[in-house]
């Protein structure tokens, strides 16, 4: 059973719903994708929490978030473009 972490007035899962390797991701693009996916809470806060650990992004959606994972297409849109 997953536990819940209470932060301000939003509750987040204590286990990440998704872990994404961060070696080729642009953090700004990732945050934009997460904001699009989860949107703001009723209080205007983010409906997710992100941790960067050992070059992987751990995504913790709030309990009220409807979707719990980014698609592979959304993740690819966050990749750093190399010329």
Q: 29 lies in a domain?
A: yes
C-beta of residue 76 within 8 angstroms of C-beta of residue 26: no
Q: 65 lies in a domain?
A: yes
How confident is the model at residue 16, as a pLDDT?
80
How confident is the model at residue 2, as a pLDDT?
41
How confident is the model at residue 27, as a pLDDT?
93
Q: 38 lies in a domain?
A: yes
Q: How many domains does the chain have?
A: 1
Nearest-angstrom CA–CA distance, 53 and 79: 18
Q: 34 lies in a domain?
A: yes
Where does residue 55 fall: left (phi above 0), alpha (psi -120 to 50 degrees), or beta otherwise? Answer: left
Q: 44 lies in a domain?
A: yes
Q: 70 lies in a domain?
A: yes
Task: Please write the tens of the pLDDT for every residue from 39-62.
Answer: 877 777 778 889 999 999 999 888
Which tops the pLDDT comparison, 47 or 31?
A: 31
Nearest-angstrom CA–CA distance, 47 and 26: 20
Three-class SS state of 44: coil
Confidence of residue 33 (pLDDT cuts 50, 70, 90): very high
Q: 81 lies in a domain?
A: no
Nearest-angstrom CA–CA distance, 46 and 81: 27
């Amino acid at each position: 059973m997953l536990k819940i972490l209470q932060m301000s007035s939003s509750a987040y899962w204590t286990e990440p719903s998704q872990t994404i390797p961060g070696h080729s991701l642009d953090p700004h693009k990732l945050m934009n994708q997460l904001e699009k996916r989860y949107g703001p809470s009723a209080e205007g806060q983010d409906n997710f929490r992100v941790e960067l650990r050992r070059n992987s992004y751990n995504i913790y959606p709030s309990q009220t978030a409807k979707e719990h994972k980014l698609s592979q297409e959304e993740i690819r849109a966050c990749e750093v473009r190399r010329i």
